[in-house]
A and B are shown apart, each in its own frame.
Chain A
Amino acid sequence: MTTETLAKTPLHALHLELGARMVPFAGYDMPVQYPLGVMKEHLHTRDAAGLFDVSHMGQILLRGSDAAAALETLVPVDILDLPVGLQRYALFTDENGGILDDLMVANLGNDTLYLVVNAACKDQDLAHLRQHIGARCEIEALFEARALLALQGPKAVEVLKRLAPEVGAMTFMQVGVIRLLGVDCFVSRSGYTGEDGFEISVPAEHAETLARSLLAEPEVEAIGLGARDSLRLEAGLCLYGHDMSTSTTPIEASLLWAMSKPRRADGVRAGGFPGAARIFAQQQEGVASKRVGLLPQERVPVREGADIVDADGAVIGRVSSGGFGPTLAAPVAMGYLQSSHVALDSEVWAMVRGKRVAMKVAKTPFVPQRYYRG
């Protein structure tokens, strides 16, 4: 693919100016790293604050008094009782209980829901919404209209408070319309690194000014997609298309926690989302394989796609994400394993270039999440 066919975010020119190495990602020309390099970018985010351009992700507004009830028909998540000013993690499921995408759903008030979906899925998600609930609410894609910045790390709040002191009072997963440099932004206290931080939806034409202003703060470095991946992996967060897909259900993906209690089999609004019957059956009867954290016991990184074998060499699973965790200073991975092997500390082996590498089934997150809960 040549760069001419790739889309650009509103910060594309800034990335080039900062000396980013650009790569194609989900149809966009995106910064994988800046001159600092993946390792230092990762560590800087955990120590101070990192600014990420995630404008390739899809932002969608749903409006109308029926929007919450309508969205509930597509996700196993409580949207009706989602308070104004809060967001929840959600999953679009298909008729087989497979995961079409994962997303954030925020209640902005005034019967308005704000969704953030994955870049690679956004056109399909938009079509899915229009097809199934287009008659029940107004659906507005903000794909070109708004950029999305993530400011992540323990110093993120100090930095953002300089532009808007009120963000200091927000807690994890709270969201609101906040004025930054005179522009109304949707700001949530959340992210994809395991650290405290914010995601900031800003009108595209104001994105570069805001990004430059944040980068001018001494605590902030620009961080690319390379470190974004190693940060989320250490934090035990799934990457769509790798750690979950249409061929895995929320139960298999170990995402039962993301299914709200009222929507579960014994809940007050049980079911009513695609694939509910299969997902509930799996919850009762168990699953053949599920996603677990994996810690390689050697220094060699174990990558996505590596077969996992038992002591006899029989294939019992596959690595879905893997790499090196700079904060742990050790390789980390996650993958799908036959349920007979998923107990914590079970010893399994990954096949890396024909050699067995011992791994232990481990708890995630691999590094403690440091969300601000007040």
Chain B
Amino acid sequence: MRYALSSLCLATLLCTGAQALAQQPIKIATDATFPPFEYIDAQGQLAGYDVELAQAVCEAAELDCELIAAAWDGMIPGLMSRKYDALISQLTVTEERRRSMAFTEVYSRPVFRFVGRDGSEYDFVEGDLAGATIAVQTGTPMDAFVSRHFPRSTIKRYDSSSAAYLELVSGRADLVMSYEAQITYGFLSDRGREGFTLMGPRYTGQDAPEFGEGVAIAVNKRNDALREKLDQGLAKLRETGAIEALDAKYLGGE
């Protein structure tokens, strides 16, 4: 009897140990300074397009996920050092990034635009924009694009996209480059932004390689199993129309 009891205890111990391992949630990081895609809402909770998408993908793939608000500068290195298992933060897939991490299938194809003060005019022909001050978030496709195509402008780089907008509002920057949807629904939609407007051409991945193939979830290169599961989740959402529903909710059904 005693033997049976102790072996039962041992079995439960082992079981709970294995369960704890299995229940280690998937850590998904996001840079919550990019409304409406990822931001911290008034209740202090993570919210936005990518946040809802991540939750839906995890549910569809039957994964236990935990979303973490991370700083932009530590996010990609954190994925590579396995602090995070995946990143969902409107990350564009580029040749260069593919060398450091793996991506799921693309789930959206963003358009990139400039935003500036109403009434100001700029010549967006390649090599020009001389004298203009452009604010961008460091290490983004927009940073790579303006660095390469507008070397005669002054480029100011910030750790977060919100800081770039602050500089536009204060007048220290003439233009901000970002995702068109992000400018429209994350900046222009706010109060007191009547004096600003979208400017210049609508750029996509076809116009410049810096803009990448589209937006996807990033996974550690050695974690193929997780990438496949997330892809299955994304495929299910595509079938059920959940991604279109998200587009309609956040991006006016574009």
Asked if A pairs with B, the answer is no
